[in-house]
Amino acid sequence: MVDLLPLVDHHCHGVVRERLDRAAFESLLCEAAAPGRWHGRLFDTQVGFAVRRLCAPVLGLEAHAAPDEYLDRRAELGVDEVTRRLLAAAGIAEFLVDTGFLQGALTTPDELAAFSGGAAHEVVRLESVAEDVISGHNAAAFAPTCRARLVAASRTAIAFKSIAAYRVGLGLEADRPSDAAVFTAAARWSAEVAAGKPVRLHDETLVRFLIWTAVDLGLPIQFHVGLGDADTDLHRADPLLLMPLLRATADRNVPIMLLHNYPFHRHAGYLAQVFDHVFVDVGLALQNVGGGGAARVLAELLELAPIGSVLFSTDGCGLPELFHVAAVRFRRALAVVLDAESAEGNWSRADARRAARMIAGGNAHRAYRLGPSAPPTD
């Protein structure tokens, strides 16, 4: 039953349309930047095994095909055909696409959705907007220009996203910063940019300004939480650090989406229980932790997280393989967890089916106001 549910992927990126050599392919497989001299090939990871197991048959190969055989077949079919096959097999009906990362190198939301006949919605990355604004405006114009850009974005985008975890950590102050504080911080940043430093937002006040501006606009706000590449200071990406901000936004009618969360997914489950406006997933993790790991991690999230708070995402980026592996592993993990509770008699079968529908897409429909959904009623 879970195999047939259309999924809402509430957080992903586009895919690369160029042909990739083996090193480039491996560098997009997991959070390692590239294969190195010590660990050997990156196919020797859970996600590497999963690609060979799950994607090879979709391309017409035996399961567990060797890496070079897989890449040869991939080249033979061409990236578009590979993407079409893998996205179709994933069974994802809607994609919410973060367009603020690797712009230009990845497909647009519409291109992505076209591969599978699904629908696409844009998620606007707050820090990218600010970085674009600071490059072309003086400090005095920074705040109003950002505000205007976000207002405009809110008319077409489905949500905002913050990568505060990467830049300043999640230990944000709770309050909206004053106009004076924003101006001072913008002036400092503007001076750095004028002096030739890379245009990279890493100021806590400005990040907070962006978040509160987004809160005013009423769209859901996604936060990168937990694992990412070596650029994250992972101990500053613990969602518990967000508690002051979550308290401050609890009555603002704005859903806050905590993405990934691993290895802090139990912390995220706790937050989803005590804050009604918090939604959680274990995206990115599920395709990376192996088959047994996926069921374990999802089960751990479902310890405390209310059924109505759990979402599906792939965080697929670059490789269409990641969407397919994420979807298969998510479906399998969800079935394992629900079957176990049903088999023990802890949940009724009807409750299990209803929970599956909510997690696969109903909750996302409700939180993002995506239209027809399965509401969490009796």
Q: Scan residues 306-325 and list those touching a second copy (CB under 8 A).
A: 306-309
Nearer to a second copy, 113 or 310 (CB): 310
User: Which residue of 8, 30, 112, 319 would you call a contact of a second copy, by CB under 8 A?
Assistant: 30
Listed in sequence order, the residues at least 6 apart from 203 whose beta carbon sits closer than 8 Å to its beta carbon are 168, 185, 188, 189
Residue 366, interface with a second copy (CB under 8 A)? Answer: yes
Inter-CA distances, 320 with 29, 74, 182, 266, Å? 10, 11, 40, 29
Q: How far is the CB of 110 from a second copy (least distance, A)?
A: 29
Q: How far is the CB of 144 from a second copy (least distance, A)?
A: 31
Nearer to a second copy, 197 or 369 (CB): 369
Q: How far is the CB of 182 from a second copy (least distance, A)?
A: 26
Residue 370, interface with a second copy (CB under 8 A)? Answer: no
Q: How far is the CB of 108 from a second copy (least distance, A)?
A: 28
Residue 296, interface with a second copy (CB under 8 A)? Answer: yes
Q: How far is the CB of 328 from a second copy (least distance, A)?
A: 11
Q: How far is the CB of 302 from a second copy (least distance, A)?
A: 7
Q: How far is the CB of 129 from a second copy (least distance, A)?
A: 26
Q: How far is the CB of 287 from a second copy (least distance, A)?
A: 11
In this structure, are residues 300 and 281 in contact, taking their beta carbons and an 8 Å threshold? no
Residue 31, interface with a second copy (CB under 8 A)? Answer: yes
User: Which residue of 122, 300, 315, 321 would you call a contact of a second copy, by CB under 8 A?
Assistant: 300
Q: Which positions from 242 through 281 interact with a second copy, judged by CB under 8 A? A: 243-244, 246-247, 250, 253, 255, 262-263, 266-267, 270, 272-277, 279
Give the dihedral of Cα atoms 273, 278, 279, 283; nearest 10 deg: -100
In this structure, are residues 325 and 47 in contact, taking their beta carbons and an 8 Å threshold? yes
User: Which residue of 88, 141, 181, 340 would you call a contact of a second copy, by CB under 8 A?
Assistant: 340
Nearer to a second copy, 123 or 237 (CB): 237
Q: What is the 3-state secondary structure (H, E, C) of the chain?
A: CHHHCCEEEEEECCECCCCCCHHHHHHHHCCCCCCECCCECCCCCHHHHHHHHHHCHHHCCCCCCCHHHHHHHHHHHCHHHHHHHHHHHHCEEEEEEECCCCCCCCCCHHHHHHHHCCEEEEEEEHHHHHHHHHHHCCHHHHHHHHHHHHHHHHHHCCEEEECHHHHCCCCCCCCCCCHHHHHHHHHHHHHHHHCCCCCCCCCHHHHHHHHHHHHHHCCCEEEEECCCCCCCCHHHCCHHHHHHHHHHHCCCCCCEEEEECCCCHHHHHHHHHHCCCEEECCCCHHHHCHHHHHHHHHHHHHHHCCHHHECCCCCCCECHHHHHHHHHHHHHHHHHHHHHHHHCCCCCHHHHHHHHHHHHHHHHHHHCCCCCCCCCCC
Nearer to a second copy, 35 or 101 (CB): 35
Q: Which positions from 60 through 89 interact with a second copy, judged by CB under 8 A? A: 63-64, 66-68
User: Which residue of 33, 75, 174, 199 would you call a contact of a second copy, by CB under 8 A?
Assistant: 33
Q: Which positions from 93 through 122 interact with a second copy, judged by CB under 8 A? A: none
Residue 39, interface with a second copy (CB under 8 A)? Answer: yes
Q: Which positions from 192 through 231 interact with a second copy, judged by CB under 8 A? A: 227, 229-230
Q: How far is the CB of 194 from a second copy (least distance, A)?
A: 28
User: Which residue of 36, 196, 371, 372 would you call a contact of a second copy, by CB under 8 A?
Assistant: 36
Binding segment for a second copy among 96-104, 133-141, 182-190, 337-345 (CB under 8 A)? 337-345
